[in-house]
Amino acid sequence: MESRSVHDVAPMVDNSERIIKFHTRDNEIIEMPQKWIIISKTVKDFLVEHGFEDKVCEVTQPIRLEHVCAETLRIIMKWCQRHHTENIPASHDRGASGQYKGLDDPFDASIMPSKQAILFELIMAAKFLQLNYLRDISCNYLVYNAGRVAFAKLFDLSGRTDDSEPLDMARFEAMNDGKLSF
């Protein structure tokens, strides 16, 4: 059997429609348009380093992401797609419009995983891919939710009984104004 590498290319692909394939830790192949994932400095540098950025060619072999599962990569793909299609800055630079709000953005909150293991992996994958704003909003989401859980546990450890005043999460959220950051 012939061995192939990421350097193998098939000619005649319009770069604006080029698909980049990723091989995840759980052996899934996920395809993503280059125009979405190019906001990742790591992917962009990889394409430049291997001479693929400016060539009209297709990368035929998947890029191996050994520490990223398919579920995490799909979250990253949704985030990158939105930032590309809605022309939202993928960095802390909000531009003149100031339109990007981080945790206040319902979309970002909606794509955050409910499983902590996936959230941790999302943070690490965003760091590796140099999607720093995604990393930061993921960290903020983790801290925000950890604060909620810690508050609830602290409240429970304080000796509450069944007839105690109910836990007032709205009051806790108002205290933090919903805007935790580093």
Residue boundaries of the structural domains of the chain: 9-176
Measured CA to CA, the distance from residue 61 to residue 8 in angstroms comes to 7
Q: Are the CB atoms for 118 and 89 separated by under 8 Å?
A: no
Q: Is the pTM of this model over 0.85?
A: no
Q: pLDDT value at position 87?
A: 79
11-20, 93-102, 116-125: which is most confident: 116-125
The overall average pLDDT reported for the chain is 72
Q: Where are the alpha helices (DSSP H) in the chain?
A: 34-37, 41-49, 70-85, 106-111, 116-128, 132-157, 169-176
Right CATH for 9-176 from 3.40.50.150, 3.20.20.80, 3.40.50.300, 3.30.710.10: 3.30.710.10
